[in-house]
Amino acid sequence: MTEDYNQRKHGVLPVDDKGYYGSDHRFGGAYVPEELKKNLDELAEAYYAAIADPAFIGEYRSLLRNYVGRPSPLYHAARLSELYGCDIYLKREDLNHTGAHKINNALGLALLAVRMGKKRVIAETGAGQHGVAAATVCALMGLECTIYMGAVDVARQKPNVERMKMLGANVVSVEQGGATLQDAVDAALAEWTRHREDTFYLIGSAVGPHPFPEMVTTFQSVISEELKSQVPFLTPKTSPDYVIACVGGGSNASGAFYHFLDDKEVTLVGVEAAGHGIASGEHAATMTTGEETVLHGSRTLSIKDEEGNVKPPYSVSAGLDYPGVGPLMASLASSGRMRVLAATDDQALEAAFMLARTEGIIPAVESAHALAALAMIDFKPDDVVVVNLSGRGDKDMLTFMNYAARK
């Protein structure tokens, strides 16, 4: 294959045709039962055709602008900058319709489902943010929507469950395993295998078998595409010195990093959830402590117990409470292109209150992990630091109230 062809097909992503990432091709791929292979091939073919079709891209961009409300602002956080001794800018994904970056991907995938003639969409969700985004775009496009959600999450994310229902989605409570996100993904993949013909799997992060991580990353890359033009216009520099994002599965980080991957002057920082602390063993610090494994159809990093089984993760943030990470993130971490930090529950919650009090912005508790990294890095006064504010914190008020009460 010529480089030109690969560039057209995969953009700037360091991925091969089988979905392996980086120069060592170590992470990624598609580890699925034979019958699912056909679905994935059909999906990849439709996807590469769609993104080469100006009509498809035109419709996607038009909806991003008029429905989602993009471009999202790049906001100079002057008081926060003073506090940390550098020049801090917030990429305001929290201002998107439905309150997070997830809609960027949900919209792209739903348009693809329509293009493929699928009538029925399934999705998994943990905190319910992706479930809400999926239910939203399905309502918009008249698609039937079923959301798989762990029973534990159904109980603790009631308002989002009600949102999904109001938007017309069926919510299926998954009782297997730990009854959280990991089990919801298993259930969605199993359902997709059973109903290959008419069903589209609208995945919520840059995880799973190829081509899912690549598709999700490409649809989220609008974040760094906007940053590329906003940074020279709104900051003293032509490119940022740092881009910082929290990492659950890695979709908002992938999108915020995408157009800077080849620019080695830009330090990329991924912040994962250290929960009660790495030493406590109760965390979701996949890249800091994880081992190579196959999880949800992809060779990647995951946290494991002594017996070598995937260990249930823990984080105060439901959106980061996942035992694995997408293959691009695993690859960037292992090659050293991305610096990996981990923030505890308390560090993240403290950072959330800090942003609320200095800038009048209540961040999602996931995004607060990225903000917590500001206290962990030695910045120079003229450093231009972009923090990807992946979502808003309305959904986390109970968590914030509990923290304030025990302080």
Ligand X SMILES: *Cc1c(COP(=O)(O)O)cnc(C)c1O
Applying CB under 6 A, does 51 fall inside the site for ligand X?
no
How many C-beta atoms surround the C-beta of residue 126 within 10 A? 27
221 carries an active-site annotation:
no
62 carries an active-site annotation:
no
Handedness of CA 145, 126, 323, 245 (dihedral sign): positive
How far is residue 225's CA from residue 230's CA, in Å, rounded to a whole number?
9
272 carries an active-site annotation:
no
How many C-beta atoms surround the C-beta of residue 209 within 10 A? 25
102, 118, 311, 395: the active-site residue: 102
**Which of the residues 345 through 364 are near ligand X (CB under 6 A)?**
364
**Which of the residues 259 through 278 are near ligand X (CB under 6 A)?**
none
Applying CB under 6 A, does 128 fall inside the site for ligand X?
no
How far is residue 391's CA from residue 98's CA, in Å, rounded to a whole number?
9
How many residues of this chain interact with ligand X, rule: CB under 6 A?
19
Query: 339, 332, 337, 363: which is closest to 350 by C-alpha?
Result: 363
User: In this complex, which beta carbon is closest to ligand X, that of residue 22 or of residue 249?
Assistant: 249
In the complex, minimum distance from the CB of residue 100 to ligand X, in angstroms, rounded to a whole number: 4
Applying CB under 6 A, does 247 fall inside the site for ligand X?
yes
How far is residue 386's CA from residue 405's CA, in Å, rounded to a whole number?
31
User: In this complex, which beta carbon is closest to ligand X, that of residue 240 or of residue 250?
Assistant: 250
Strand order in the sheet with 144-150: 170-174, 144-150, 120-125, 199-201
User: In this complex, which beta carbon is closest to ligand X, that of residue 179 or of residue 203?
Assistant: 203
Choices 191-199, 233-241, 249-257, 292-300; region in contact with ligand X by CB under 6 A:
249-257
Task: Kindly tell me which residue out of 124, 366, 383, 396 binds ligand X, with binding defined by CB under 6 A.
Answer: 366
Element (H, E) at 342: strand 338-344
Site string for ligand X, 61-100 (x = CB under 6 A): ---------------------------------------x
Task: Kindly tell me which residue out of 68, 172, 246, 343 binds ligand X, with binding defined by CB under 6 A.
Answer: 246
Applying CB under 6 A, does 390 fall inside the site for ligand X?
yes
User: In this complex, which beta carbon is closest to ligand X, that of residue 129 or of residue 235?
Assistant: 129
User: In this complex, which beta carbon is closest to ligand X, that of residue 114 or of residue 261?
Assistant: 261
| CA distances from residue 8 to 21, 22, 79, 299 in whole angstroms, order as listed | 17, 18, 42, 25
Element (H, E) at 363: none
In the complex, minimum distance from the CB of residue 356 to ligand X, in angstroms, rounded to a whole number: 16
Residue nearest ligand X (C-beta atom): 391
Query: 223, 186, 202, 200: which is closest to 323 by C-alpha?
Result: 186
Active site residues: 102, 124, 390
